[in-house]
Structure 1
Amino acid sequence: MTTAALPPAAPAEPAASTATHAGLAPATARRLATAERVLYGAGGVLTAVGPQTDVAGLHVAVLAAGAGAIGVLWRRTRTGGAGLLLACTRALPLLGLSGTYAAALIAPGYSWWETVAPVAVAAAAGLAAPMTRAAGISRAIENLPAVVEAPVQQDAGDYLSGVRVLWTAAAVTNGTDLTALHQPDPNRPAFAAVILAAPGEAVSSRLDTRAVAAVFDVPEAAVTLTSIPGSGPGRLALLVDPARAEEQAALDQDPVRLWWGQKVSGPGGAAPGMNLAAYRIEAEEGRATFRVEAAEDVELVLPRRKLARALGIEDPDLLMIGAAGLSGAVITIYRDHPLIHVREATAEDLTMREDGTIALGLRHDGRPARMPLYDTDLGGLTDLFVGAPGSGKSVALLHVITAERLSGIVSIVADAQGGMSLPEAKGRVYAFGAGLAEFGATLAGACALADYREQISTANGWGSFALGDPWALVNISLDEINRVIANDAEAPDDFKAWVVAMITRAQLTFRKLGMGIRYAGQSVHLEDLGDAEKIRANAKQGSVWLGRVNSTMTKRLASDMTSGEVEITPIPRHFGGGGDAEVEAAWNGEEAPTGPVTAGVAWHICGGIPALMRVWLAVKENRTYPNLIRLMESAVMPVLTPAEDAAFRAGYAEALPLAMDLLAGGDGSGGADGHQEHDGEAGAVAVRIPRPAVKAKPANLEAQILTVLAAGVMRNRDIRAALGADTPGGPKAGSVDNALSALFDAGKVIKPGHGKWAPLGWTPED
């Protein structure tokens, strides 16, 4: 590519320009240095042998040469500057050899140093090659005055003046002028300007990038023409940057970029339009990181498994999408899984920072996986923790509960599994409800606490919560909630309805009263929690911890909690279990090797953005986790104020017999009468603790379908008719079809034929 027609760019600083003047060509410098070293070798031999001879003429010549060098240096001292430096550089070998020669003549007899000293001086001079180096310095200095003498401003003016001359001389630019002409970077041969047409006329369409490139004899890629906001067609912004075209050409030939374009971003690739903006390959760390930018006309979509397949990665778990925004993302490919090894948590990791977050574990790229316990603007948060047995859900919850105690947060925990899920928390948190009845009573006590805070806030005119003024943050963790409200839960419908009513109330009021709520279970369907839309919206402000669950649950929560730019894939049970190892083993008739279990690995979703992470290591001893217990007990347990404590305990005491009656099949009348008033601390406001109305929760759509299908095989239209689809009060026909598909994915119904559905276990004999 040539830019000969453009005048050379003016340098910004004279000193910087001197670096561009070479002293000597490399080949010339090598030849001169060789000749110089031969002369020094001969001089060393002469200096070692000459003093031992009786050749008077030789003695006089050597001593005269030394005296002449001293005389030249004396004259140079009068002028100083660079000339003196160069003279000294050249004179050192001659002075060293002549001085050694004179010393040998004066010394009587012969001594070993008379041979060693000349050889040493000659060898040192040969290594330094001072004459050659001085020549290079001299050549560079000779070019310096011309650059220094050239005024910088005049050079810049000459450059832009030359640009204007080329524009005026071109026929295609007739009738236009270059205005606002300037050089954005004085060190770069590029300029910007505004093309101005004659008054009342538009810039000719013939004046395109090709025509402008011809005017300045630059590649077409070096020219950019854009309209000016707020101006009409009589003005165009122009940028000419020849170096940019060369840089782009170099990028286009980059083998990594060519590979990416072929496999990913090009037509037929795994993610068309997902262009490679930058990359770095870190061989020692065993990873390659790619920054991806979506083209302007496409949305950011990164299908993880398709990308792994296209890039030849056998195990898709080795491809991580670390961050994703509206148009860009960072993708990392690892040689080995980065989350196999994590350390144990420290008190610093689990202590809440000013931004309300803790480090729950590590992300795949080594950064802390930060989880918010509190939001300075929103107050309390809603979290979801979902994971199958062995996925590490309980350990993750235990780290969070430990963090709450270290951070001065009041923890209220309810474990529907009778306390077996979180035994370490018992006695180490403010309240711990173990069992189904206690689960409901604990949640009721939290609602009573919210009532108290709401009354005090209303009386004082407070519209929001302030951390520690006057109350501490309270977080309620409801573990194994699927045992309470799921379709197949053992709890009666009236008990479920009561719990769901309190959950709905919590979503409406807890946040601004400084109370967060966390739902945890082996499977959590938002529809089962009551106000699904409210929980979905609130959980997007908090956190979703999605551990190893089945594929259907992964897809459902992923669609609920993310915007879909990043594909969330199920987490395998073992590291390395997501690739082709099983296929290879089956082909060879062998057992597939398994890596360590993936307990603690999860998709952590904050603000709709997912990232793969792993919870800190927890070492179990005697069926408990001593390090987490030690961390919890290292801090004083946060508690409620006396008035708050009275409200919570009164609510719990009232709700416990009600819960037990509901679980026994009663209607709640066996419990204490509702609407009792409990006085708080002396003189405090009376706390009204209502008993939630108990009303059997209507069966959801999936349960209704299962009831209808109990009669046997039915077609879609028959199922819709039986459910009153598209009738007043009935479901939508599309909702029925979606529910049927969900039941089929969950393995609860079968398809005996096209458009036909039957309950699980149905046989043709039926």
Structure 2
Amino acid sequence: MGQLYEIEIATPYGGLGRYDHMALCAALRVDDPARVVVEQDGMSRALVTVYPSNPLAATPAPTDHDLTMDRKGRIVIGRYHNGRPVHLRLYDILTGSAQRIALFGTTGAGKSRSLQLILAALKRNGAVTWLADLKSGQSVPEAKGQVDWHATTQEEAFHMLRAAVAVAEERMRRYASLGRTAFLKDDPDPLLFVWIDEANRLLEKGAPYRDEATALVKELGRTGRSVGVGAGLAAQASHLEEMGGSDTLRGMLKEGEVILLRWSSGMMRQLVSDGLLPTGEQLQPIPKYLGVRTLRSRLDADADDDRPGTQGMAYHLTGEHPTAMLRFSRVGSIAPTPGLDPEIVELYGDGPVPALEATSVDLAGEQYAVRGTGVILPLYDDESGDGTSAPAPSGAASPGRSLRLPDRIIAALRNGPLDTYGVLEAVKTDGGKAVKPGSVRNALGDLKADGRITSDGGMHTLAD
């Protein structure tokens, strides 16, 4: 063909609906479905673009300008099919909000390298990043040493979520005392992002800490935005129910940033039902390989059907163009490397790793203090001093729930709502055994997960 064509379609309001992409390609006499791109406006108009070749066959590496936040708090993560930049918001200047981000993709869809680009941008922009790589650190190995906290186990990820909630609550209390309602980009406190990679391992049905971790993710999504604590989840694109339940993500993501790489049909149905993709609109499927599959005779022994993959091709469902296919900028070496990929390491830059503000270090807890040493502290403090307690699976009674500290907290809250600092002071002066701040935070997390207390605006209250 050699030329680019655009066809604008208009129907009576609501009349466009679903369409058969393969039938459309056949009608246009196009053998490669990836050359035909359909964008809908959610009402009655569509733009059909027919390219002479796949417009996303290759994308350039990100530039320093791409990875630098613009005046709207956005970075450039790639290009749409029409060559326009794809913006990902890390911070909302207008509302003073840290963003919630979700990155979904099946195995081999390019999720890990896409995440590396975002992590590198966070570092370059001075954001403190806490990362739990739940594939034993293998998913994004270059991130180790480039983030403030790098965890590789579910237990440490749980510690990380608790610490993030504690930091968010302390900032909330501190900002309230100053009469502030939002986080400021140039605030002395740095933007903090908590990323859980392979999040389905922590939040799927049967995961040992699913209920408690889900409660912490919800709390972080609810309280972290206005105090500069963002949350990111990267996971397999199977079904939202495998991510702590769809209710966990619906409210957290509808106003956040949702990126969908190659997906499963179950995930697509869930995204539509949860309102993350407008009803009536559809996305062109992302194949595993680019190009046209050629029929070959069994006698053609020398046939070469090796086709390039589609890693990094995606849709930004909450962006300006949710039905426009995009591709992430090229990240890392084309061929696998025997160790850390030097191109990815270079992407992070040689600047210092941003660290948590000094006023929040103690609140981040003892696990934060020993991060990077390989030591994983008990999730629940048995108050025996021997450090031998271990968390119980979800649904079972964990050691920390049957001891006196939760009861002491409940007694303190009977006198009225208290913030975390107030709870700590109350149990310090109730005549009981001395406790550490980390033990109080852990017990508060357990009580919230059990539904015995509620937390709103940094204040803890007995549940009705």
TM-score using structure 2 length: 0.76
CA positional deviation for 1:469: 2.1
Counterpart of 1:554 in structure 2 is 268
Change (3 A) 1:331 1:623: farther
CA distance in 2 between counterparts of 1:567 and 1:664 reads 39
CA distance in 2 between counterparts of 1:565 and 1:546 reads 18
CA positional deviation for 1:650: 4.3
CA positional deviation for 1:696: 8.9
- Is the CA contact (8 Å cut-off) linking 2:73 and 2:93 kept in structure 1? yes
- Is the CA contact (8 Å cut-off) linking 1:668 and 1:694 kept in structure 2? no
Residues 1:596 and 2:308 aligned together: yes
CA positional deviation for 1:587: 10
- Is the CA contact (8 Å cut-off) linking 2:258 and 2:317 kept in structure 1? yes
CA positional deviation for 1:499: 0.4
Which of 611, 627, 630 does residue 324 from structure 2 map onto? Answer: 611
Describe how 1:12-31 pairs up with structure 2 within 5 A. none
CA distance in 2 between counterparts of 1:600 and 1:593 reads 21
CA distance in 2 between counterparts of 1:459 and 1:537 reads 28
Describe how 1:639-654 pairs up with structure 2 within 5 A. 639-650=355-366, 652=368
Change (3 A) 1:552 1:308: farther
Counterpart of 2:129 in structure 1 is 411
The one-letter amino acid of 1:627's match is E
Which of 50, 56, 68 does residue 351 from structure 1 map onto? Answer: 68
CA positional deviation for 1:527: 3.7
The one-letter amino acid of 2:36's match is L
CA distance in 2 between counterparts of 1:439 and 1:407 reads 24
Cα shift readout 1:290-316 (whole Å, capped 9, x = no counterpart): 333343x43453636143343333332
Counterpart of 2:82 in structure 1 is 365
Change (3 A) 1:394 1:444: same
CA distance in 1 between counterparts of 2:57 and 2:49 reads 16
CA distance in 2 between counterparts of 1:461 and 1:386 reads 38
- Is the CA contact (8 Å cut-off) linking 2:100 and 2:232 kept in structure 1? yes
CA distance in 2 between counterparts of 1:477 and 1:393 reads 13
CA positional deviation for 1:326: 4.3
CA positional deviation for 1:441: 0.9
CA positional deviation for 1:634: 3.0
Change (3 A) 1:484 1:351: same
Cα shift readout 1:144-196 (whole Å, capped 9, x = no counterpart): xxxxxxxxxxxxxxxxxxxxxxxxxxxxxxxxxxxxxxxxxxxxxxxxxxxxx
Change (3 A) 1:623 1:318: farther
SS in 1 for 2:92: coil
CA positional deviation for 1:656: 4.1
Change (3 A) 1:610 1:516: farther
CA positional deviation for 1:388: 1.8
Counterpart of 2:391 in structure 1 is 662
Cα shift readout 1:424-482 (whole Å, capped 9, x = no counterpart): 11111111111111111111111111111111122222222222224222111111111
Which of 293, 299, 314 does residue 10 from structure 2 map onto? Answer: 293
SS in 2 for 1:689: helix
CA RMSD of aligned residues (A): 3.3
SS in 1 for 2:58: coil
- Is the CA contact (8 Å cut-off) linking 1:308 and 1:319 kept in structure 2? yes
The number of residues matched between the two structures is 400
Counterpart of 1:338 in structure 2 is 55
CA distance in 1 between counterparts of 2:7 and 2:204 reads 42
- Is the CA contact (8 Å cut-off) linking 1:429 and 1:637 kept in structure 2? yes
Higher RCO by CA contacts (8 Å cutoff, separation 6 or greater): 2
SS in 2 for 1:477: strand
Counterpart of 1:436 in structure 2 is 154
SS in 2 for 1:504: helix
CA distance in 2 between counterparts of 1:365 and 1:555 reads 27
Which of 274, 282, 286 does residue 567 from structure 1 map onto? Answer: 282
CA distance in 2 between counterparts of 1:329 and 1:307 reads 13
Counterpart of 1:689 in structure 2 is 441
CA distance in 2 between counterparts of 1:613 and 1:299 reads 26
Cα shift readout 1:627-678 (whole Å, capped 9, x = no counterpart): 2311313333222210122222347579941178225787332699676868
CA positional deviation for 1:569: 3.5
Counterpart of 1:193 in structure 2 is none
Counterpart of 1:425 in structure 2 is 143
Change (3 A) 1:508 1:449: same
Residues 1:622 and 2:338 aligned together: yes
CA distance in 2 between counterparts of 1:524 and 1:544 reads 15
Counterpart of 1:315 in structure 2 is 32
Residues 1:526 and 2:255 aligned together: no
Which of 502, 509, 528 does residue 216 from structure 2 map onto? Answer: 502
Cα shift readout 1:292-345 (whole Å, capped 9, x = no counterpart): 3343x4345363614334333333222113563644443211121111111212
Change (3 A) 1:328 1:624: farther
Counterpart of 2:430 in structure 1 is none
SS in 2 for 1:472: coil
CA positional deviation for 1:623: 3.6
Aligned residues: percent identity? 28
Q: Which runs of 5+ in 2 are unaligned?
A: 371-375, 381-388, 410-419, 426-436, 451-464
The one-letter amino acid of 1:376's match is I
CA positional deviation for 1:568: 1.5
Cα shift readout 1:93-118 (whole Å, capped 9, x = no counterpart): xxxxxxxxxxxxxxxxxxxxxxxxxx
SS in 1 for 2:446: coil
Counterpart of 2:354 in structure 1 is 638
CA distance in 2 between counterparts of 1:661 and 1:569 reads 47
CA positional deviation for 1:533: 4.3
The one-letter amino acid of 2:59's match is V
- Is the CA contact (8 Å cut-off) linking 2:25 and 2:33 kept in structure 1? yes
CA positional deviation for 1:615: 1.4
Higher-Rg member (1/2): 1
Describe how 1:269-284 pairs up with structure 2 within 5 A. none
Counterpart of 1:479 in structure 2 is 197
SS in 2 for 1:414: strand
CA distance in 2 between counterparts of 1:359 and 1:408 reads 16
CA distance in 2 between counterparts of 1:621 and 1:628 reads 11
CA positional deviation for 1:543: 2.0
Change (3 A) 1:366 1:310: same
Change (3 A) 1:696 1:689: closer
Residues 1:400 and 2:97 aligned together: no
Change (3 A) 1:423 1:569: same
CA distance in 2 between counterparts of 1:588 and 1:377 reads 64
Change (3 A) 1:391 1:428: same
CA distance in 2 between counterparts of 1:611 and 1:437 reads 39
The one-letter amino acid of 1:417's match is K
The one-letter amino acid of 1:668's match is S
Counterpart of 2:384 in structure 1 is none
CA positional deviation for 1:593: 2.9
Change (3 A) 1:552 1:604: same
Counterpart of 2:181 in structure 1 is 463
CA positional deviation for 1:534: 6.3
Q: Which runs of 5+ in 1 are unaligned?
A: 1-282, 680-685, 698-766
CA positional deviation for 1:523: 3.1
- Is the CA contact (8 Å cut-off) linking 2:8 and 2:46 kept in structure 1? yes
- Is the CA contact (8 Å cut-off) linking 2:315 and 2:322 kept in structure 1? no
Residues 1:324 and 2:54 aligned together: no
Change (3 A) 1:375 1:428: same
Describe how 1:107-122 pairs up with structure 2 within 5 A. none
Change (3 A) 1:531 1:510: farther
Counterpart of 2:412 in structure 1 is none
Cα shift readout 1:565-597 (whole Å, capped 9, x = no counterpart): 5311432111026xxx36x44899997834201
The one-letter amino acid of 1:662's match is P
- Is the CA contact (8 Å cut-off) linking 2:239 and 2:266 kept in structure 1? no
- Is the CA contact (8 Å cut-off) linking 2:237 and 2:264 kept in structure 1? no
